[in-house]
């Protein structure tokens, strides 16, 4: 019996994955940083877009997005990449690629804004967004109380997020405000982006959480600018 073999077989995933895109982006950036002085070099971190309050206060607002894809040292990117792969794959399958991407980015943005407001240190890392995904998973558990699989996932992430916050407060190297802001952004975004449309009354709740997100973002931006601006001038 003769068998045919497709020599044009594709080794790309059948479905586009935002998780893989984010993962590849942060790995490429890490390699470029390594070749440009190292990811723990302060000048390299600032050059590639780490959260640096004086630069943000002077108008470099893109530094509120870039830190999501920048990591400080090999252990940092290894842990965050493993977490992003497993957590991101699971959450993207539940939310869909577009909603997942929006929750990830809005979580990271809120985390970096809160860090800008209350943390003067240079910081970077995907953990602002990852904490947002943890929080989004918890919100998902509240939205689907009768789904045992989602409930188990929500309980696991609830324990994980509290353990991370607890141990984070004992380490000066951890950007706790970034993590807290990321969790806040993820929880809010999970409601106004992905709440099931089962009742018209929920549209009001969706709008409320959207307003809370923007008000929080403006407050953190204003606070960070005032604190850093006064220090600069």
Q: Is CATH 3.40.50.300 the classification given to domain 18-232?
A: no
Let me know the angle formed at the C-alpha of 221 by 27 and 107, rounded to the nearest 5 degrees.
Answer: 40
Check if the beta carbon of residue 128 is closer than 8 Å to that of residue 182. yes
Say what the pLDDT of residue 162 is.
77
Structure-model confidence comparison of residues 138 and 7, the more confident one: 138
Say what the pLDDT of residue 194 is.
75
Say what the pLDDT of residue 10 is.
40
Query: Which residues share a beta bridge with 51?
Result: 123
- pLDDT tops 70 at residue 168: no
Check if the beta carbon of residue 115 is closer than 8 Å to that of residue 217. no
Catalytic residue chosen out of the listed positions 17, 107, 127, 129: 127
- pLDDT tops 50 at residue 201: yes
User: In the chain, what are the domain boundaries?
Assistant: 18-232
Distance CA 39, CA 74 (A): 8
Check if the beta carbon of residue 177 is closer than 8 Å to that of residue 114. yes
Question: What 8-state DSSP symbol labels residue 231?
Answer: H
Say what the pLDDT of residue 155 is.
79
Instruction: Write down the mean pLDDT value for the chain.
Output: 86
The string of pLDDT tens digits covering residues 110-137 is 999 999 999 999 999 999 999 999 999 9
Nearest residue to 124 (alpha-carbon basis) of 190, 83, 171, 80: 80
The string of pLDDT tens digits covering residues 212-221 is 999 999 999 9
Say what the pLDDT of residue 6 is.
44
Say what the pLDDT of residue 144 is.
76
Catalytic residue chosen out of the listed positions 39, 71, 107, 179: 179
The string of pLDDT tens digits covering residues 26-50 is 999 999 999 999 999 999 999 999 9
Residue 76 bears catalytic tag: no
Q: 77-86, 147-156, 177-186: lowest mean pLDDT where?
A: 147-156
Residue 57 pLDDT class (50, 70, 90 cuts):
very high
Residue 127 bears catalytic tag: yes
The residue assigned the tokens 């969790």 is 183
Distance CA 84, CA 20 (A): 9
Distance CA 186, CA 72 (A): 23
Say what the pLDDT of residue 2 is.
41
Average pLDDT over residues 184-211: 81
């Amino acid at each position: 019996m003769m068998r045919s073999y497709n020599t044009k077989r594709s080794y790309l995933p059948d479905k586009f994955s935002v998780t893989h895109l984010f993962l590849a982006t942060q790995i490429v950036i890490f390699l470029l940083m390594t070749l440009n002085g190292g990811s723990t070099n302060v000048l390299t971190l600032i050059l590639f877009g780490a959260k640096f309050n004086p630069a943000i206060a002077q108008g470099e607002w893109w530094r509120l997005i870039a830190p999501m894809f920048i990591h400080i040292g090999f252990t940092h990117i290894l842990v965050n990449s493993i977490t992003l792969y497993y957590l991101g794959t699971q959450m993207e399958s539940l939310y869909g690629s577009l909603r997942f991407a929006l929750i990830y980015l809005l979580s990271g943005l809120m985390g970096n804004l809160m860090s800008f407001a209350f943390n003067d240190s240079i910081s970077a890392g995907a953990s602002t967004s990852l904490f947002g995904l943890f929080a989004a998973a918890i919100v998902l558990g509240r939205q689907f109380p009768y789904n045992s699989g989602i409930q188990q996932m929500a309980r696991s992430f609830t324990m994980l997020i509290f353990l991370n916050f607890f141990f984070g407060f004992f380490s000066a190297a951890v950007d706790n405000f970034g993590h807290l802001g990321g969790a806040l952004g993820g929880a809010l975004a999970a409601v106004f982006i992905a709440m099931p449309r089962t009742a018209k009354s929920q549209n009001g709740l969706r709008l409320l959480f959207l307003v809370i997100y923007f008000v929080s973002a403006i407050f953190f931006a204003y606070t960070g600018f005032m604190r850093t601006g006064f220090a600069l001038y």
